[in-house]
Chain A
Amino acid sequence: MTGADTSTVALFQELEAFYRREVLLLQDHRYREWLDIMDPAISYRVPVTTSTLDGLVTREDELGYYDEDFELLKARVAKLESKQSWVEQPPSRLRYFVQVVDASLEPEGTVLARSNLLLLQYRWNMEQQFSGSRSDLLVPAAGGFRLRERRVVLDRQVLGKQGLSVFF
Chain B
Amino acid sequence: MSDTEKPATLTPPVRTPLPPLVSADARIASFSAGELMAPDGSAVDRRLFVDAGVYRLEQERIFAKCWLYLGHETALPENQSFFTTTMGEDPVMVVRDKTGRLRAFLNSCSHRGAKVCRVDSGTARFFKCPYHGWTFSTEGELIAVPRIGPVYGEAFDRSLYGLREAPHVDSFGGMIFASWDPKAPTLREYLGDMAFYLELMLSRMEGGTEVIGGVHRWTIDVNWKIPAENFAGDHYHVPSTHGAGVEMGFRSQLTNNGYCIQTGNGHSIGSERGGAQQGTAVQTEYDGFMKQMRSELVAKYGQAADAFVPIGVGTIFPNMSFLDSARFRAFRVWHPRGVDRIEVHSWCIVDKALPAELKEAVRRQYSLAFGPGGIFEQDDGDIWQSVQDALRGHVGRQGRFNYRMGLGREAPTAERYGPPFPGSCSDILMTEANQRAFYRHYATVMADPAP
Give B283-319 as 1s and 0s: 1 = Cβ < 8 Å from A's Cβ atoms: 0000000000000000000000000000000000000
- Count residues of A near B (Cβ-Cβ below 8 Å): 43
9-residue interface stretch from B154-162, B243-251, B261-269, B407-415:
B243-251
Q: How far is the CA of A52 from the CA of B37 in the complex (A)?
A: 45
Q: Is B14 an interface residue (CB 8 A)?
A: no
Residues of B within 8 A of A51 (CB): 118-121
A157 interface residue (CB < 8 Å to B) = yes
The 8 A CB mask of A54-69 against B (1 = contact, 0 = none) is 1000010111111111
Asked if A63 and B375 sit within 8 Å, CB to CB, the answer is no
Q: How far does the Cβ of B280 sit from chain A's closest Cβ, in whole Å?
A: 11
Q: How far is the CA of A75 from the CA of B368 in the complex (A)?
A: 9
Name the interface residues of B236-254: CB closer than 8 Å to any CB of A.
240-241, 243-245, 247-250
Min Cβ gap B190→A in Å is 29
Within 8 A of B (CB), among A26-82: 47-48, 50-54, 59, 61-69, 71-72, 75-76, 78-82
Whether A79 pairs with B244 at a CB distance below 8 angstroms is yes
Question: Is B348 among interface residues, defined by CB-CB distance under 8 A?
Answer: yes
If A52-B120, A160-B218 touch, whether A125 touches B389 (CB-CB below 8 Å) is yes
Scan residues 211-254 of chain B and give those whose CB is less than 8 A from a CB of chain A.
212-222, 240-241, 243-245, 247-250
Residues in chain A near residue B218, CB distance under 8 A: 158-162, 164
* A70–chain B nearest beta-carbon distance, Å: 11
CA gap between A79 and B378 in the complex, in Å: 11
Contacts of B378 in A (CB 8 A): 85, 87, 162-165
> How far is A162 from B220 in the complex, measured between Cα atoms in Å?
5
C-alpha gap A69/B240 in the complex (Å): 28
Q: How far is the CB of B343 from chain A (nearest CB, A)?
A: 7
Please determine whether B215 and A48 come into contact, CB atoms closer than 8 angstroms: yes
* Distance, CA A83 to CA B243, complexed state (A): 9
Chain A neighbourhood of B240, CB < 8 A: 84
Bound-state Cα–Cα, A63 to B380, Å: 20
Total residues of chain B contacting the partner, CB 8 A: 53
Q: Complex Cα distance A59/B123, Å?
A: 17
Q: Which of A53, A61, A72 contacts B282 (CB 8 A)?
A: A72
Q: CB-CB < 8 A to A158: which residues of B?
A: 217-219, 343
- In Å, the complex CA distance between A130 and B240 comes to 30
State whether A78 and B248 are in contact (beta carbons under 8 Å apart), knowing that A59-B214, A63-B215, A163-B378 are contacts in the complex: yes
Contact pick for B244, options A68, A85, A161, CB 8 Å: A85
The answer on a CB contact under 8 Å between B384 and A162 is yes
Instruction: Identify the closest chain A residue to B360 (Cβ).
Output: A61
Q: Which of B164-193 contact A (CB under 8 A)?
A: none
In the complex the two chains form, what is the Cα distance from A78 to B386 in whole Å?
24
- Tell me the nearest residue of chain B to A75, going by C-beta: B282
B120 touches A61 (CB 8 A): no
- For B52, what are the chain A residues with a Cβ–Cβ distance below 8 Å? none
Q: How far is the CB of B152 from chain A (nearest CB, A)?
A: 29
Give A163 to B222 CA distance when docked, in angstroms.
Answer: 13
- Report if A142 contacts B (CB, 8 A): no
Are B379 and A163 within 8 A (Cβ)? yes
CB distance from A119 to the nearest CB of B (A): 13
| Cα separation A161 to B124 with both chains bound (whole Å) | 32
Contact present for A66 and B367 (CB under 8 Å): yes
The closest CB in chain B to the CB of A50 belongs to: B120
Q: Does B385 contact A (CB under 8 A)?
A: yes
Q: Is B71 an interface residue (CB 8 A)?
A: no
Judged by a CB distance under 8 angstroms, whether B371 is at the interface is yes
Q: Least Cβ distance of B348 to chain A in Å?
A: 6
B372 A159 Cβ-Cβ under 8 A:
yes
CA distance A60 to B119 in the complex (A): 20
Nearest Cβ distance between residue A96 and chain B, in whole angstroms?
A: 17
Is the Cβ of B382 less than 8 Å from the Cβ of A63?
Answer: no
* Chain A residue at smallest Cβ distance from B281: A75
Give chain B's interface residues, CB within 8 Å of chain A. Answer: 118-124, 212-222, 240-241, 243-245, 247-250, 281-282, 343-344, 347-348, 360, 363-364, 367-368, 371-373, 375, 377-386, 389
Would you mind naming 20 contact pairs between A and B with Cβ atoms under 8 Å apart? A52-B119, A61-B360, A67-B367, A79-B247, A81-B248, A82-B244, A82-B248, A84-B247, A86-B244, A86-B383, A87-B379, A126-B385, A161-B219, A161-B220, A161-B221, A162-B220, A162-B221, A162-B344, A162-B380, A164-B378
